[in-house]
Structure 1
Amino acid sequence: MEMNKASTIGSLVHGVNIIDVVAQSDNPLKFTEIQELTGISKSNLYKYLNTLTNLDLLYRDSKQGHYSLAYKFLEYGNAAMKNNDITSKLSSNFKEISNLTNMTTSLSVWLNDTPVITGIWNTNYGLNIGAQIGTKLPLLSAAGKIHAAYANREEVYNWIEQEQTKHLKFPVNEFQNELSEIQKTHIAFAKEPLTKHVSSLSLPILDYKNELVAACTIIGFSEEVPKDTSSEIVQQVIEINTEMSRAFGYKG
């Protein structure tokens, strides 16, 4: 990752780099292995490792002298999980998108065996979107396509297969091509998937592994919902959506 050296603290960068090296190893590392992987001089590395160990960020096995992550990261992980309620974490972003587009936005996540709406933000209260919090989404909805495009677990593949059987002569090849395009553009469109005159577009919220966290969907009257990425509003929504992904470590 490139950094502006004038605005960063070099020693902190080196310290985090050491932690990354240890964290990415399948086994505890010896001093010489860390030195080889980081390129830090032995005298400086000793000081870094001693400091990180005293701060309970690294653990040194007194018998073998090997280093691994210490318990402090369990505390950090638990704190991160407590603050990781997706709906509350992203609420302000969804409200911003609703105000920008003057349409309804929804958040959907994978629950058990299907994508489910877990949050809805309305600006047009006269619009019946054909869904509510708790609604299970079909494969051919915009959000359903997002979950299918970023599928990486057996239960998601099973859901896709089951959903396809609900449609007579489902166009498998055409749908696979659409999913490939969604992976390239990071946006899905659906015309009236749940109710007449109401269409949608959806974008993926991704994490640091480029895996799907949730889907952000914009819903409105069919004539008002953009049908491609060329509109200025869609470009602004993409920027907000990317910001949401960055909250989960996305680097794309």
Structure 2
Amino acid sequence: MEVVKSNSMIQSLQIGIGILEIIAEQNRPLKFTEIQELTGISKSNLYKYINTFVQSQILHRDSETGSYLFGSKLIKFGLVAADQENVLGRITPYLEMLSKKSNCSVTYSIWTENGPMVIKLYNSNGGFNIGVQVGTILPPGSSAGKIFLTFKEQPLISEWKEQELEGMPLEQREAFEQELRTIRQSEIAFAAEPIVQSVSSVSFPVFNHQKQLISAVAVVGFNGQIPKTEDEPLSQYIKEISKQISSF
């Protein structure tokens, strides 16, 4: 790893940023030995950097695999950068439209090392409690969870998916796998929410220009308010909004 020496820069900070850049370039969780090989930094020095990043939540260490990936602190930094580009600002009007059209709450979620996290909540009916708030981690069986299970491509998804499938009877497991295949084709997911009884949701993916998943939007309401199939009028409206958002 090459570092440009300059009296006007902090060399150790340069090295730390270089480590993060190398991890980002691989686009997958890395073990310590892989990072050491890619950076060429001595094990003792690299350990200090990695340990500092983990303690600062810039990196997250998976306790089972021992691999490192970006942590929640960098996600927060990313949200600030995204807000500067007004990405979420451009999406918010669509969340408002969905909430008013459906008379339900609408959530916007991104992926974290712990699962999908709600970072935006819009509710045109302020008195309705859907059981989630900004910062809530959504379970795999939620409609937004199913969107991430279907479209998010990274190793952690398989482990997170097993949490949902563990203990399922074979027939039910096969039905769930078939549901995910259907979601991949239709780009819309339905669920009876596991967080609050009598509450259901419908979700759709938000893609970037490379058709990579960046987030999920969910419309959440009482069972009678939420469609159960993609042929229903509200589902068709939601799919049209989805296309408009992902066309940014």
Secondary structure of 1:126's aligned partner:
coil
Q: Does 1:111 align with 2:112?
A: yes
Contact 2:144 2:204 in 1 (8 A): yes
Contact 1:87 1:107 in 2 (8 A): no
Secondary structure of 2:226's aligned partner:
coil
Aligned to 2:95: 94
Q: Give the 3 Å change call, closer, same or farther, for CA 193–221 of structure 1 in structure 2.
A: same
Secondary structure of 1:223's aligned partner:
helix
Aligned to 1:146: 147
Q: Which amino acid aligns with 2:150?
A: A
CA distance in 1, matches of 2:212, 2:136: 23
Superposed, 1:1-252 pairs within 5 Å as 83-84=84-85, 86-165=87-166, 167-169=167-169, 171-247=172-248
Q: What is the Cα deviation at residue 101 of structure 1?
A: 1.2
Secondary structure of 2:138's aligned partner:
coil
Runs of 4+ in 1 over 6 A off after TM superposition: none
Using structure 2 for the length normalisation, give the TM-score: 0.63
Contact 2:141 2:193 in 1 (8 A): no
Contact 1:90 1:244 in 2 (8 A): yes
CA distance in 2, matches of 1:82, 1:127: 27
CA distance in 1, matches of 2:215, 2:203: 10
Q: Give the 3 Å change call, closer, same or farther, for CA 172–128 of structure 1 in structure 2.
A: same
CA distance in 2, matches of 1:81, 1:122: 22
Q: What is the Cα deviation at residue 232 of structure 1?
A: 2.0
Q: Which amino acid aligns with 2:104?
A: M
CA distance in 2, matches of 1:81, 1:223: 35
Q: Give the 3 Å change call, closer, same or farther, for CA 117–208 of structure 1 in structure 2.
A: same
Aligned to 1:34: none
Q: Which amino acid aligns with 1:104?
A: S
Q: How many residues align?
A: 167
Secondary structure of 1:146's aligned partner:
helix
Which protein shows a greater Rg? 1
Contact 1:192 1:222 in 2 (8 A): no
Contact 2:102 2:225 in 1 (8 A): no
Aligned to 1:41: none
Q: Which amino acid aligns with 1:123?
A: S
Q: What is the Cα deviation at residue 233 of structure 1?
A: 2.4
CA distance in 2, matches of 1:185, 1:177: 12
CA distance in 2, matches of 1:84, 1:138: 29
Sequence identity (%): 31
- Between 230-239 and 199-208, the greater mean CA deviation after superposition: 230-239
